[in-house]
Structure 1
Amino acid sequence: MLRVLYEGLDLSNSRDIAVFAAACVAFWGQCRLGELLPTSRSPAASKFLPTRKQISLSSRNKRSTTIHLPRTKTKQRGENVVLVAQSAPVDPRIALEMHLLANRCDSSSSLFTYVTSTGPMVLTKPKFMQRCNEIWKKAGYPHTTGHSFRIGGTTELLLAGVSPDVVKAMGRWSSDAFHKYWRSLEDLAPIHAELVTS
């Protein structure tokens, strides 16, 4: 669905660039949308969300980008999301870089702030989901919720053969919740358990 989003968005439009970057980061970073996007444009709604200055390249491996989440559902002191390169055009690192270049704002701005003719505008979760669902509806997909990004990213990584322990760590999953949200077990089982030698 990320590719459908990529094809349906107008990537010459600053808001659509922000939408695509947020979608790629949420999906590949296995994020809850509430960890990235405010529910409203009120400054208080963005208080515990990442800003542009909370993005960094790893000091140990330049092939990973880290976004510090100031607060998450399970960690009041925050956690880091680690993004690694993926196939174009849905690479979260490239989408994020494209967004930051197209939407130049102050480093203390909310991460997915975009530029309009009247000034900077914070991308909210409702506006983000509205735009995503507009694109997906045209492509024949049913209405989708924000939680689909976290679940979808987790499932995609597992289906690609990434070790469940790595997926769990990258997604900042607690042990019980991680298994609750696994999708496509009939597809995952052969990847990780077929022809195990005894």
Structure 2
Amino acid sequence: MLKALKISLRIDQPYGACIWAMSACAFWGMMRLAEVTVKSQRDFDGSRHLKRCDIYFGKDLNDKPYARLDLLSAKTARPGKKQSIFLTEQGELCPLAALQNLFTVVPARATDPLFCWRDEKGNIRSLVKQSAIKFINTILTSWGWGTKFGHSFRIGGASYYLAQKVDPEIIRIAGRWRSLAYETYIRAFEQTASRHMSGLDGRAS
């Protein structure tokens, strides 16, 4: 489905670039749609939603690139407690490349939404959840698939990692499912993320 979505999108255009970056990040990062979209244009709040300045690009101990998205508000986090999502290289469906493409196609300020696009007048627009779902559903329907979302990216990413025999504990940590072990392991995971999770897209081709 992710491959079909990318093929169907104009990722050289603002909205297509935004949809693709959101989709790639949500799948590989096992993110909830509420973490990558807003309810409405007026709903965007920099204290709750991802901004351009909430992303960090680095390299781990294996000299492999990764991106870290810092969520200031999350369903499984205590109020005021930050959670981090780690993204690694993934071949032709790479979320890192999708983000870089988004930044090229849709330049924005550090305080603008991470997943944003520009309308015909050049105004920055947040990615609205229901509009994004409708747009993606139209594409997937044309490929003969169903039209229901929810936790599809999050569950789909976790299921894919499990199918590729990634350690369930690594998936739990990366997916930020609650556990006392999270606080202990998260820093070590940041430095070894590619060892566990990168390059899986090419392996499955």
1:98 equivalent in alignment to 2:101: yes
Asked if structure 2 preserves the Cα contact closer than 8 Å seen for 1:37 and 1:46, the reply is: no
| Structure 2 Cα separation of the partners of residues 60 and 148 of structure 1 | 29
1:66 equivalent in alignment to 2:68: yes
RMSD: 1.5
| Matched position secondary structure for 2:176 | coil
1:42 equivalent in alignment to 2:42: yes
Q: CA deviation at 1:45?
A: 5.3
| Structure 2 Cα separation of the partners of residues 4 and 146 of structure 1 | 19
- Amino acid of the structure 2 residue aligned with 1:109: D
Find the counterpart in structure 2 of residue 6 from structure 1: 6
- Amino acid of the structure 2 residue aligned with 1:174: R
Question: Taking every aligned residue pair, what percent have the same amino acid on both sides?
Answer: 26
TM-score calculated relative to the size of structure 1:
0.83
- Amino acid of the structure 2 residue aligned with 1:104: P
Asked if structure 2 preserves the Cα contact closer than 8 Å seen for 1:38 and 1:46, the reply is: no
- Amino acid of the structure 1 residue aligned with 2:135: R
Q: CA deviation at 1:46?
A: 5.6
1:128 equivalent in alignment to 2:129: no
Runs (4 or more) in structure 1 with deviation over 4 Å come to 43-47, 59-62
| Matched position secondary structure for 2:125 | strand
Find the counterpart in structure 1 of residue 54 from structure 2: 54
Give per-residue Cα distances to partners, 1:41-67, cap 9 Å, x unaligned.
114556401100011023645521100
| Matched position secondary structure for 1:109 | coil
| Structure 1 Cα separation of the partners of residues 67 and 139 of structure 2 | 28
1:141-180 equivalences under 5 Å are 141-174=145-178
1:79-98 equivalences under 5 Å are 79-88=83-92, 90-98=93-101
| Structure 1 Cα separation of the partners of residues 45 and 139 of structure 2 | 26
TM-score calculated relative to the size of structure 2:
0.80
| Structure 2 Cα separation of the partners of residues 137 and 130 of structure 1 | 10
Find the counterpart in structure 2 of residue 26 from structure 1: 26
Find the counterpart in structure 1 of residue 197 from structure 2: none
| Larger of the two Rg values belongs to structure | 1
**1:165 and 1:129, CA in 2 relative to 1: closer, same or farther beyond 3 A?**
same
Counting matched residue pairs gives: 174
| Structure 2 Cα separation of the partners of residues 159 and 39 of structure 1 | 32
Asked if structure 1 preserves the Cα contact closer than 8 Å seen for 2:51 and 2:111, the reply is: yes
Structure 1: gaps (5+ residues): 176-198
Comparing both chains, which one has the higher relative contact order based on Cα–Cα distances under 8 Å and sequence gaps of 6 or more? 2
Find the counterpart in structure 1 of residue 191 from structure 2: none
| Matched position secondary structure for 1:80 | strand
Asked if structure 1 preserves the Cα contact closer than 8 Å seen for 2:59 and 2:65, the reply is: no
**1:59 and 1:12, CA in 2 relative to 1: closer, same or farther beyond 3 A?**
closer
Give per-residue Cα distances to partners, 1:69-122, cap 9 Å, x unaligned.
11100113120000001121x111111110111100111001111122221111
